Amino acid sequence: MFADIVVVGGGASGMAAAIGAKEAAPGAEVVIAERLDRVGKKILATGNGRCNLGNLDVSPAHYHGSFRKMSSIISEHPAGDIFRSLGVLCAADEQGRMYPRSNAAATVLSALRMKLAEVGVKEICGFELCTYLRKGDKYELSSYDGQKISCRKLIIAAGGYAAPQYGTDGSIVRLLREKGYKIEKICPAVAPLRVTSESVKGLKGVRVKGIVQAYSGDKLLSAEEGEIQFTENSLSGICVFNMARYFQEYEGSLEIRLDLAPDMTYDELKEYVREQCTKRADYELNDLLTGAFAKNLAVYLVKNTIGRPMTDRIETITDKEVEKLCRSIKDLRFAVTGSSPWKNAQVTAGGVHKSCVGDDLSSLLEKGVYLCGEILDMDGDCGGFNLQWAWASGFTAGRNCGASLKGADR
């Protein structure tokens, strides 16, 4: 089979690239080659099924990686405008996170697929790219099961390593490395962080609001306020997700510190705990903090800080122990032992380095190849920033690729 342009990967950036390519070259044959049985499967899982498709904030502050300097293409393609043109009404919450007004990711996917059909993009599913070779002025693509497609231009939109259950296992990143592309160190981003199960024993299922800080030694890397969730061996929640990418750089020294009483000063907290020591004097240590925290967390804090039988009476607690307890409520520390498995990660940090790609998102190593989306070394914070990059980089790569076709092929 032959097509003018083949887009490898039918995810968010691949669909945007195919639409962009057709807009720039309406006469060209544009094909999406997707390994799974349907395009856009990951989109349906985004935002807990609601698809947080963008954010009103388009500033570079929410992006990381060597493509950060290219975040201007996001302000040129705001998600709200893209989806309005596809007939999808969006609404933003107080943090600027944009969702389809229907609150259903299926709305987003069906609008994209309607547009693909309208402009005449073909979807070929069940084509898992194994490799591609330059033959004359064309590329020949081969799938693992022996299918072949040749094309004039190639757009690589095959994603990263995160969430392999949706088709992204990093195989194309490895292929590009073999072809000589510089690949920035890969690591899960927007993901839970692993800690020892001993350090969170008894906290599984607990959710608490607080301030989360990431440290390496004495260096504060980042701080965010929000809800922290505990599992049997990890810390989770949006504010933790946003710190996962630091594991790439600070493996071995990364520490998460929690302030579980951000609304109180240390002295106010101490006053409160002392008051409880008097009011609840006849009760067990187990009950000391249950007026401030969920039972499991209240018991965990006292047990891990004071280290005495929890059946001891509250009146036995010393001033020093109260101070120690308040210090740990304001500064509870967890050494990070690992990042989460890829199946629990939402995004890949790292990928194809900017030094291999021009500002038009064409490859500087292979003529006629364009790249977009998560395969590139750019990851955003949680909050719609990653899909925003996928749509914007996809449209940019697609339009530039379409425009690069010679007159007769367009």
Ligand X SMILES: Cc1cc2nc3c(=O)[nH]c(=O)nc-3n(C[C@H](O)[C@H](O)[C@H](O)COP(=O)(O)OP(=O)(O)OC[C@H]3O[C@@H](n4cnc5c(N)ncnc54)[C@H](O)[C@@H]3O)c2cc1C
Q: List contacts with ligand X (CB under 6 A).
A: 8-14, 33-36, 42, 45-47, 51-52, 127-129, 157-159, 162-163, 166-168, 171-172, 346-347, 373-374, 384-387, 390
CB of 390 to ligand X, least distance (A): 4
Residue 89: name the closest of 108, 110, 75 by CA: 108
- When the beta carbons of 171 and 222 are compared against ligand X, the nearer one is 171
- Return d(Cα 186, Cα 361) in angstroms, integer: 20
CB of 301 to ligand X, least distance (A): 32
**Residues 184 and 35 sit within 8 Å (Cβ to Cβ):** no
Angle, to 10 degrees, between the axis of helix 266-279 and the axis of helix 319-330?
130
- Identify any residues that bridge with 215 across adjacent strands, giving them in sequence order: 220, 255
Amino acid, single-letter form, for residue 32? I
CB of 358 to ligand X, least distance (A): 18
Residue 83: name the closest of 105, 60, 57 by CA: 105
- When the beta carbons of 18 and 285 are compared against ligand X, the nearer one is 18
- When the beta carbons of 210 and 394 are compared against ligand X, the nearer one is 394
- When the beta carbons of 169 and 287 are compared against ligand X, the nearer one is 169
CB of 344 to ligand X, least distance (A): 9
Residue 35: name the closest of 157, 125, 132 by CA: 125
- When the beta carbons of 229 and 328 are compared against ligand X, the nearer one is 229
- When the beta carbons of 332 and 378 are compared against ligand X, the nearer one is 378
Per-residue burial over 301-329, b if 16 or more Cβ lie within 10 Å, else e, is: bbbebbeeeeeeebeebeeebbeebbebb
Segments in 280-374 forming alpha helices (H): 295-306, 319-330
CB of 225 to ligand X, least distance (A): 20
**Residues 346 and 187 sit within 8 Å (Cβ to Cβ):** no
CB of 76 to ligand X, least distance (A): 18
CB of 124 to ligand X, least distance (A): 9
Residue with tokens 């409520």, as numbered in its chain: 329
- When the beta carbons of 276 and 348 are compared against ligand X, the nearer one is 348
Angular region, 61: left φ>0, alpha ψ -120 to 50, beta rest: alpha
The distance from CA 125 to its chain's CA centroid, rounded to whole angstroms, is: 25
CB of 394 to ligand X, least distance (A): 7
- When the beta carbons of 277 and 378 are compared against ligand X, the nearer one is 378
Q: Is the dihedral of CA 99, 100, 105, 111 positive or negative?
A: negative
CB of 151 to ligand X, least distance (A): 14
**Residues 273 and 325 sit within 8 Å (Cβ to Cβ):** yes
- When the beta carbons of 181 and 385 are compared against ligand X, the nearer one is 385
Phi and psi, residue 171, nearest 5°: -65, -35
Total Cβ atoms within 10 A of residue 343: 12
